[in-house]
Structure 1
Amino acid sequence: MNKIKKKKSPSGIFITGTDTGVGKTVIASSLATYMNSCGHKVSVMKPIETGCAVRSNVLVPSDGMKLKYAAGSNEQLSNIAPVRFKNPIAPMPAAKLEKKPVDIKRIESCFHSLQRESDFIIVEGLGGILVPISKGYSVRDLIKKLDLPLLIVARPVLGTLNHILLTVEAARKEKIEVKAIVLSGFNNKTKNIAERTNPDVLKELLPDIPLFLFPKIERINPSEIRKEAGDVLSPLADLLIK
């Protein structure tokens, strides 16, 4: 009797940053748009979003909406961005202030539902890898729970070396695979000495982690992305989809 082969789970990536506002949503949206335009069925997720606007007594997740649009997704926003808070702070204090704990089981349920419907799932975190979700539970624990490799997004400027090295160290401590590092908003014509030298330093210090230099993009649509960042997104997508 032939053995039944276990179906391999669809691939995916968890995108974390070295800080807040480093370009995670831009990278996640660009990847989703690019992969979708290449024929991949892509799911997107923002498990926890803070700083949501309130409209008609509903918390509106702006990052979740951007991801949904970028992926051309028909999924309900409640699955893409299941946990939302009004206050623009880390989930742990936001949950205390708003008197509602983060529902990890709901996040897991939404994640697996989205994963089943796609070839590839892009999960965007919040802040950095050690941002506290609750006491004793951080973004790193969520990454492990979802069992995804990591894509680190960072600024290209002064200070980023320390932030990147700390993030890589935190990931490796828990045996989380770091698939790649992206310097978001990189200007290859810059005269800033830190921005010019940081890529070479990172390649020397972390030779086993692919580094991608992602330019600043004004509009996230297929034509703009292919024009401005196609030469970066093509090899990055190929690396992640393996």
Structure 2
Amino acid sequence: MEIVFVSGTGTEVGKTYVAKQLAVAQRDAGVRVGVYKPVASGCIRQPRNSETNSVAPADQLVSADALKLWEAAGRPLDLDAVCPQRFEASVAPDEAARRSGQRVDVDLLTRGADCWRDHCDTLIIEGAGGLLSPIADELLNIDLFRRFRGAKLYLVAANRLGVIHEVIATCRAAASSQVTVSRLYLTASGPTADESGQSNAEQIRHWLPELDLREVAWGQGC
């Protein structure tokens, strides 16, 4: 099973959009694709509904991002397999868990992916927040990525003013932890780019010439 771990330079940079488009592209190529979001915060309470998960208990917490990933992958398995740990507060997962009187189950973050091994050829994992964001007590997303041996790391960044610093800082932080960014998706942050959007990709390529950079226009697939 090939594993692709999708992370970002921060929040709201287009991680879920890129992960969805990757899932769609895999399906179109005839590849069995699985999707996995190890933990999510900012979840909403939703009654049992056959349109989301026919085996879910009533009034369960649902991650909107996990639901989008599941639908993009063709609804394999169920939502619990996609996102086994869900918390309500719209803060980092470790803090969201504390506010609910719980803790993120660190072992489950990786163990939860095991159910996909017999059901997909490629597993797309979406982290929570940026690559250096906390995902559990004493665990950052980059630490979680390293637990998936052989996985590829795809970084997502929004093509807007400030992204050059965000990408260089994130890639250098990754390198200092012996982690290689396999690919960067530079995503349009709206239908109309700001002035920097025309030159950000060129600047990033100058500073990180070894990086596989792919630009994603507004509404474009990956």
TM-score, normalised with respect to structure 1 = 0.82
SS where residue 126 of structure 1 aligns?
A: coil
The count of aligned residue pairs is 210
Comparing 181-190 with 167-176, which one deviates more in the overlay?
A: 181-190
Deviation at 1:174, TM superposition (A): 1.8
Q: Is the 8 A contact 1:42 1:120 kept in 2?
A: yes
**CA deviation vs aligned residue, 1:183-232 (integer Å, no higher than 9, x gap):** 11268985x33111111111111111111010111xxxxxxxxxx43xxx
Deviation at 1:149, TM superposition (A): 2.1
1:44 is aligned to: 35
Q: Is the 8 A contact 2:7 2:128 kept in 1?
A: yes
Amino acid at match of 1:205: W
2:55 is aligned to: none
1:54 is aligned to: 45
2:203 is aligned to: 201
Q: Is the 8 A contact 1:186 1:213 kept in 2?
A: no
1:179 is aligned to: 182
Confirm or deny that 1:135 pairs with 2:126.
no
Comparing 11-20 with 99-108, which one deviates more in the overlay?
A: 99-108
| 4+ aligned runs moved over 6 Å, structure 1 | 186-189
Runs of 5+ in structure 2 lacking a partner? Answer: 48-58
Deviation at 1:140, TM superposition (A): 1.1
Confirm or deny that 1:16 pairs with 2:7.
yes
**CA deviation vs aligned residue, 1:15-48 (integer Å, no higher than 9, x gap):** 1111111111100001101110110111101111
The percent of aligned pairs where both chains have the same amino acid is 29
CA distance in 1, matches of 2:132, 2:192: 33
Q: Is the 8 A contact 1:15 1:124 kept in 2?
A: yes
Runs of 5+ in structure 1 lacking a partner? Answer: 1-9, 218-227, 234-242
**Residues 33-112 of structure 1: matches in 2 within 5 Å?**
33-56=24-47, 57-112=59-114
1:122 is aligned to: 124
Amino acid at match of 1:11: E
Query: Structure 1 residues 80 and 201, CA, compared in 2 at 3 Å: closer, same or farther?
Result: same
Confirm or deny that 1:156 pairs with 2:147.
no
Confirm or deny that 1:28 pairs with 2:19.
yes
Q: Is the 8 A contact 2:134 2:141 kept in 1?
A: yes
TM-score, normalised with respect to structure 2 = 0.89
Query: Structure 1 residues 41 and 136, CA, compared in 2 at 3 Å: closer, same or farther?
Result: same
Query: Hey, which of these two has a bigger chunk of helix by percent?
Result: 1
Amino acid at match of 2:3: G
Amino acid at match of 2:38: P
Q: Is the 8 A contact 1:129 1:170 kept in 2?
A: no
SS where residue 31 of structure 2 aligns?
A: coil
Q: Is the 8 A contact 1:17 1:152 kept in 2?
A: yes
